[in-house]
Amino acid sequence: MRFVPQNCGSRLLLYFLLGAFASLYLKSFILPRTPIYQGDSSPIFLTEAVRMFQGQIIYRDFFELTLPGTQVAYLTLYKLFGIRSWIPSSVFVLLGVGLAWMGVAISKGIMRGKSVLLPSLLFLAFSFTSEPDPTHHWFNALAVMGALGLLINKRTPWRLAGAGALCGLATLFTQTKGVAAVVGLAAFLIWEVRSKGLKRRSLLKAVVCLFGSFLAITLAEIAHLIGAVGLERLTYCIGVFPLKYFSLWYWNTPRAYLSEVPNLSGILEAPALGIWLSIHILVPLIYVLFLVRWSRVAKTHPEEPWAGLMLLSLVGLFLFLSVASSPSWLRLCSGSLPALVVFVWFVKSSGRLSQVFMTLLWAAGISVLVAQCLIAQTDTRAYLDSRVGRLAFLEPERYEKFKWVQDHTHQDDFLFQASDSDMYYPLGLRNPTPVQFLTASGYTRPEQVREVVKSLERYRVRFVLWSVWLDIPRHPGFNEDNLASVRTYLDGHYHLVRNFGDPDYEQVWERNPD
């Protein structure tokens, strides 16, 4: 695999990657080096990695429904550097640079010249930086893009084996998307054999190379986990629970599509609405448009890189299908890089106006990245000397809540944050329960609620943070109230001591004296 695109000099690529690093750094750190505490789901994995660092075993001691690739990645960093405030922000920057690099490497199989840089620029500006959340979706995306980069130009046995291994690695971060990626690669191999009139034996050899390495990675990890927690528990966590209960929460259903409308709090953030609409429209429409064009003009224009485009379109389409039942903004963004490569090819081959459109896309991508850096560096912020290091908060209400909790707790204290998990990591606090959060839906099972009550009683947890949204239904049709026993326990053993306002409106409940 060549990591320097043809007709795109190594110096230009170096400048591009340095620019990507600089923009991501300015998005993630307040100069000179204070990390901004961000993220929605990444605090879950950061906290779970801490629990593993302290000796707990995933699935046995706490619940999780994904395979543990993300937790192991963070655990490795903890063992190397300790539990530090800068780790999540640094991981986000490195993931972004890696994805940008892979985007360039993939684009070189489709385009030439400076155009190979444009999909990665658009990806960073429109998708990646819109979700500064170093969670499992981005780890998965990096592994899948590596597999595409290996196969974009050649499909030799060694490259196929490497791509299968990378899809296996992607599965360890997000099992559904890793499986979708390898199935998409297999679909492409079938298409290529049929389109070139090759013998079935060549298809069989290619599939064996692809799936052999894929299964070697995934089955080895699953066997290890079975030995650690048992087949029944592992099957329930990563199989039974996702199939039966995952879709009982609003955000894990098709209704999540187009639901996360940007909050336009400033004039510099106005383009966010256009970005939000463009990604929702682009994925998966661009794949359908490509298949239509290929069916119409492939025979008359054999000079086009149809094989590479078909590879990206089929894998991208399968990635979309893996999240189609729960197409949240983050899930769409994490799989959008193949769509952006195909989109730029469409624009570049659109005729007389292609150069105008390309110039506009360059201007939009650069402008958005610059604007995001300006917002991050000039926005109102507050600093907290947390127990893992200094942190910057861009939301005053969030800082106030974190500061109060830190002032009223000590290192390694137990605390239960009922509707979130973002306090444990920076404040050095421990979650006494086996679940990371509760929901006012069937996603939170009655047996999990019982375990929460038992844990609060067993450890005499002093503080519980309770969100008003656990009591006020926001999504009709998804409200299966299994939380009555927790409320009853709070009413009988705790008293309200503090309220925090928008955007979360959380209450702090303190345990009554014994």
**Same-domain check for residues 333 and 437:** no
* Whether pLDDT at 460 is above 90: yes
**Same-domain check for residues 139 and 60:** yes
Can you give the pLDDT at residue 476? Answer: 74
**Same-domain check for residues 442 and 337:** no
Report the C-alpha gap between 424 and 430 in whole angstroms. Answer: 6
Assess contact for 426 and 390: CB atoms under 8 A: no
Residue 102 domain flag: yes
What is the per-residue pLDDT across 394-437, written as a single tens digit (0 to 9) for each?
Answer: 988 899 999 999 999 999 999 999 999 999 999 999 999 999 99
Can you give the pLDDT at residue 399? Answer: 94
**Same-domain check for residues 152 and 52:** yes
Express as a percent the part of the chain with pLDDT over 70.
Answer: 96
Number of structural domains (the chain) is: 2
* Whether pLDDT at 475 is above 80: no
**Same-domain check for residues 124 and 213:** yes
**Same-domain check for residues 450 and 312:** no
Report the C-alpha gap between 280 and 303 in whole angstroms. Answer: 31
Residue 455's domain spans which residues?
395-511
**Same-domain check for residues 306 and 405:** no
Q: What is the number of alpha carbons within 13 Å of residue 474 lying toward its C-beta?
A: 12
* Between residues 264 and 305, the one the model is more confident about: 305
Q: Is the peptide bond before 32 cis (omega within 30 degrees of 0)?
A: yes
Residue 389 domain flag: no
* Whether pLDDT at 458 is above 70: yes
Can you give the pLDDT at residue 269? Answer: 57
Residue 493 domain flag: yes
The label of the residue with tokens 């609409």 reads 277
**Same-domain check for residues 308 and 189:** yes
Mean pLDDT of all residues in 320-330: 95
Express as a percent the part of the chain with pLDDT over 90.
Answer: 83
Residues ≥6 apart with Cβ < 8 Å to 233: 59, 60
Residue 125 domain flag: yes
Query: Hey, what amino acid is at 15?
Result: Y
Can you give the pLDDT at residue 249? Answer: 93
Can you give the pLDDT at residue 504? Answer: 61
**Same-domain check for residues 233 and 99:** yes
Domain C-terminal end among 346, 361, 385: 346
Residue 375 domain flag: no
Residue 376 domain flag: no
* Whether pLDDT at 72 is above 50: yes
**Same-domain check for residues 276 and 414:** no
Q: Kindly report the number of other CB atoms within 10 A of residue 265's CB atom.
A: 10
Mean pLDDT of the chain: 93
DSSP secondary structure string, 408-470?
Answer: T--TT-BEEETT--TTHHHHT-B--SSSS---SSTTS-HHHHHHHHHHHHHTT-SEEEEEGGG
Residue 353 domain flag: no
Domain C-terminal end among 288, 315, 346: 346
| Strands 34-35 vs 382-386: parallel, antiparallel or unpaired | unpaired
Can you give the pLDDT at residue 22? Answer: 97
HEC assignment per residue over 394-424: CCHHHHHHHHHHHHCCCCCCEEEECCCCCCH
Confidence at 469, pLDDT banded by 50, 70, 90: confident
**Same-domain check for residues 342 and 399:** no
Can you give the pLDDT at residue 4? Answer: 44
**Same-domain check for residues 259 and 150:** yes
Residue 450 domain flag: yes
